[in-house]
Structure formats: structure tokens, C-alpha cells
């Protein structure tokens, strides 16, 4: 009986520390860099002041970051390792978890052409980095091909997970 209670308490603790996964509407809004549903709010982060810092954290150079409400949000690199930085922690993009229905890995992120924002809906609030899918996503009909990284702001700090998604925003909107 005692083991069952201990197991139950451990399961509750683990489930409480689990990071929130964004809804499909939140992901599509992030990819589109605009709310695609009335249930989602998209808010651009202020990019008027952009900072950079060598040896920012753990040998990473922060090549692009913003300071928003006392938190630093941006992009960092250490040799071939690239990452999203949030609140003095680096989340390598190669370790980002692909979201269901968005299995294609994002291409190289150029932080200067990315759209930085937050998306919020019933699934939570997420930092959102939306950017063109490589060279293909920069002109013509290929501009609808986008990649994104999302990270929950409503989960515990030590349970944050970086998620990734890539898709043609016209096609993904029609397959809701």
C-alpha cells in the first residue's frame, strides 16, 4: 500500500514538471507570425534594441538577443552548435522536439530575418521564433514555407522544452 502511494506521488510530481506542448493552432500561428484563430493571441516582441555578447553562457556567443521584461530571448552559437537562448539558458536547436504533424526539421535559422514573438492560447504561452524555410522560403510562392521554434513560458523553468515545426502555412491551415 505504501509503495502504491509513493508511486502515485511520484507520478504527480513528474506530470507537474512536464512542459506544456503547444496546440496545433498555436503552432500554425507561430509559423504564420500572426493569430490564425480567434482562440490564439500572437504578439511580436520588440526588436528595436538588439544585443550581442561574446562568451555569453557556457562558451556560447549570443549573436542576437532581446531583453523583454527582464528576460533575455535570442540566438546563440558555439562553433557548429546553434541554440535559442532564454533567461540565460541555451536550448540547442538540434535537440528541439519535432511537434506531431511537423516532422521536417527546420533549416538554418537567421535570427535577423526571423519574427520573434509570443503565442498564447488554452495550451499555454510560448516564445515563438518564426523564419523562412531556407533560401526556398524567401521569395515567390515558397514564402509560405516556414519553420518555427516554440518554448513554453508557462511550464517550470527546469522543465522547458524547445519544440520545432516546419510547414507550408497555406497547406497546414487548410488541414486543421
The DSSP result for 59-87, as a single string, is TEEEEEEEEETTEEEEEEEETTEEEEEET
Examine residue 105 and state whether it is found in any structural domain, yes or no.
yes
Beta-strand pair 115-121/41-44: antiparallel
> What is residue 133's predicted lDDT score, i.e. its pLDDT?
76
Examine residue 37 and state whether it is found in any structural domain, yes or no.
yes
Contact 89, 57 (CB under 8 A): yes
State pLDDT tens for residues 89-124.
999 999 999 999 887 888 889 999 999 999 999 999
Examine residue 112 and state whether it is found in any structural domain, yes or no.
yes
Examine residue 49 and state whether it is found in any structural domain, yes or no.
yes
Examine residue 27 and state whether it is found in any structural domain, yes or no.
yes
Taking the model in full, what pTM does it have? 0.82
Please give the distance of CA 153 from its chain centroid, rounded to a whole number: 10
Choose between 7 and 50: higher pLDDT.
50
Query: Which candidate, 44, 149, 154, 23, places its Cα nearest to that of 92?
Result: 149
Q: How far apart are CA 160 and CA 170, in angstroms?
A: 29
Q: What is the mean pLDDT of residues 46-64?
A: 96
Examine residue 28 and state whether it is found in any structural domain, yes or no.
yes
Q: Is 8 helix (H, G, I), strand (E, B) or coil?
A: helix
- First-residue to last-residue Cα distance in the chain: 46
> What is residue 59's predicted lDDT score, i.e. its pLDDT?
96
* DSSP at 176: -
User: Domain tally for the chain?
Assistant: 1
Q: How far apart are CA 128 and CA 108, in angstroms?
A: 16
Domain span at 147: 20-174
Examine residue 125 and state whether it is found in any structural domain, yes or no.
yes
Query: Which candidate, 37, 33, 58, 57, places its Cα nearest to that of 47?
Result: 33
Amino acid at each position: 500500500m505504501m509503495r502504491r502511494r509513493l508511486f502515485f506521488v511520484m507520478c504527480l510530481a513528474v506530470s507537474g514538471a512536464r512542459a506544456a506542448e503547444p496546440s496545433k493552432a498555436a503552432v500554425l500561428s507561430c509559423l504564420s507570425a500572426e493569430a490564425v484563430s480567434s482562440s490564439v493571441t500572437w504578439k511580436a516582441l520588440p526588436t528595436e534594441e538588439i544585443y550581442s555578447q561574446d562568451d555569453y553562457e557556457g562558451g556560447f556567443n549570443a549573436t542576437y538577443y532581446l531583453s523583454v521584461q527582464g528576460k533575455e530571448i535570442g540566438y546563440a552559437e558555439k562553433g557548429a552548435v546553434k541554440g535559442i537562448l532564454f533567461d540565460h539558458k541555451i536550448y540547442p536547436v538540434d535537440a528541439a522536439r519535432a511537434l506531431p504533424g511537423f516532422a521536417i526539421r527546420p533549416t538554418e535559422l537567421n535570427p535577423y530575418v526571423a519574427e520573434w514573438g509570443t503565442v498564447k492560447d488554452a495550451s499555454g504561452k510560448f516564445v515563438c521564433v518564426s523564419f523562412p524555410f531556407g533560401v526556398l522560403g524567401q521569395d515567390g510562392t515558397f514564402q509560405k514555407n516556414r519553420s518555427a521554434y516554440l518554448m513554453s513560458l508557462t511550464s517550470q523553468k527546469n522543465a522547458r522544452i524547445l519544440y520545432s515545426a516546419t510547414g507550408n502555412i497555406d497547406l497546414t491551415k487548410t488541414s486543421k
